[in-house]
Amino acid sequence: MKAYIFPGQGAQFTGMGKDLYENSSKAKDLFHQANEVLGFDITKIMFEGTADELKETKVTQPAIFLHSTILAEVMGDKFQPDMVAGHSLGEISALVANRTLAFSDGLRLVYKRALAMQKACEATPSTMAAVLGLEDHLVEEICANTPGIVVAANYNCPGQLVISGDVDAVGKACESLKEAGARRALILPVGGAFHSPLMEPAREELAAAIEATQFTAPACPIYQNVSTFAVTDPSEIKENLIFQLTAPVKWTQSIQNMIKDGATKFIEVGPGNVLQGLVKKIDSSAETEKSEI
User: 232-260: per-residue pLDDT in tens?
Assistant: 999 999 999 999 999 999 999 999 999 99
Amino acid 293: pLDDT: 73
189: pLDDT strictly greater than 90: no
Domains in the chain and their CATH numbers? Answer: 2-122+197-290 (3.40.366.10), 123-188 (3.30.70.250)
291: pLDDT strictly greater than 80: yes
* pLDDT band of 274, cuts 50, 70, 90: very high
Q: Which residues are catalytic?
A: 88, 195
Q: How far apart are CA 70 and CA 129, in angstroms?
A: 31
Amino acid 50: pLDDT: 93
Q: How far is CA 189 from CA 168, 186, 221, in A?
A: 15, 10, 33
User: 129-154: per-residue pLDDT in tens?
Assistant: 999 999 999 999 999 999 999 999 99
Range in 9-13, 79-83, 195-199, 201-205 with the lowest mean pLDDT: 9-13
pTM of the predicted model, to two decimals?
A: 0.96
What order of strands is seen across the sheet that includes strand 2-6? 230-231, 222-223, 83-86, 2-6, 265-268, 287-290
User: 31-76: per-residue pLDDT in tens?
Assistant: 999 999 999 999 999 999 998 899 888 899 999 999 999 999 999 9
Amino acid 55: pLDDT: 87
Amino acid 88: pLDDT: 97
Q: Classify residue 50 by burial, with Cβ atoms within 10 Å: 0-12, 13-18, 19+.
A: exposed
User: 192-234: per-residue pLDDT in tens?
Assistant: 999 999 999 999 999 999 999 999 999 999 999 999 999 999 9
Amino acid 23: pLDDT: 95
Tell me the mean pLDDT in the region 7-29.
Answer: 95
Q: What does pLDDT average to over the chain?
A: 96
Amino acid 56: pLDDT: 86
